[in-house]
Amino acid sequence: MKYEYFRINISSLIFIIVCVEFVQICYGRHYPKCHLIEMEKCFDKLHQLKDSQHDPSFLLTSHEGLDKICRVLKEDFTGCILAYLKKCGTPLHKELSKVISDAILEHMNMICDSNSEFRNDLLEKSPCIHEKILSQQDYQKECNNPFFTTVAWGEMKAHSKHRERSPIDYAFDAGCCAYRQWEQCTMPKIRQNCEIESENILQNVIGKLLGGVTNFLCYQDIFSPGSQICQTLPTLDEQMSQVNITYADQQKFSIFSVVKMFLTRVDESKK
């Protein structure tokens, strides 16, 4: 029951963000400080999670790394989003935002509480996930690069002036198809090279960091790689021909921004 309540809150948060965007489009001339670019600045704060010396998934392997993740997400990122909603939202937005953020932060406590059983299990399993899978260039080329490319293609189409569908349709369809493809590519490798429990740990980490958005929006039956929606997307080669591969790194306003912070793309052009 608690999980269902949380999923409803996540849906409400996304609805609020979309509503605020609509408000900015309609009233941007009167409230220039409420342009959507102000919210994009909140996503800039996620770049604190990048590490120039290590693959970013290294943060998942220590108490210090997890503390940094929690500080950035709970204080910097969420605080920025709430400040934006307080400044730009309607009275209803302002009233709901605190309730929703409290539910999200509570959901993250299993990672952020230094004494939680889940955190201890994560620290036990994450070194294998990081060292044998996420930090390996072959894995990054096979699983991460397609993820970045498809998310970038969806964001490019969402920002296009000549799009045939709504921006949110392009972003969600491409993002969810990319995520499910990444999941299908990644999880068997974790089962094979680490443990079955390690797969569950990573799935739970993603769910908690994204507040359950992936399972709520990216329903498996609708967005599996063989689904009708995902099959109608251009092939990966076609996407790559239309998108500069670095575009995914440059674009920050995406529900998959947190996932992207823990993935590394291999730049094949330098080989």
User: DSSP readout, 207-224?
Assistant: HHHTTTHHHHHS-HHHHS
| Distance from C-alpha of 4 to C-alpha of 1, rounded to nearest angstrom | 5
| Distance from C-alpha of 116 to C-alpha of 103, rounded to nearest angstrom | 18
pLDDT along the chain (271 residues), means of 10: 39 45 41 63 79 80 92 85 78 70 75 91 94 91 90 83 78 90 94 91 84 76 92 92 62 53 59 49
Task: Show Cβ contacts of residue 28 under 8 Å, excluding neighbours closer than 6 positions.
Answer: 34, 35
Q: How far is CA 45 from the centre of its chain?
A: 14
- pTM of this prediction? 0.76
| Distance from C-alpha of 121 to C-alpha of 214, rounded to nearest angstrom | 22
Give me the pLDDT at residue 80, please. Answer: 85
DSSP one-letter code for 251? -
26-32 long-range contacts, CB within 8 A, separation 24+: 31/88
| Distance from C-alpha of 160 to C-alpha of 167, rounded to nearest angstrom | 8
The angle subtended at Cα 105 by Cα 86 and Cα 38, nearest 5°, is 35
| Distance from C-alpha of 139 to C-alpha of 88, rounded to nearest angstrom | 42
- In Å, how far are 31, 159, 171 from 13, measured between CA atoms? 22, 22, 17
The tokens for 230 are: 């995902």
Number of domains into which the chain is organized: 1
| Distance from C-alpha of 216 to C-alpha of 181, rounded to nearest angstrom | 16
Give me the pLDDT at residue 226, please. Answer: 92
Longest CA pairwise span in the chain (Å): 57
**Residue pair 157/243 in contact by the 8 Å Cβ criterion:** no
Give me the pLDDT at residue 42, please. Answer: 80
Residue 77: which domain range?
2-270
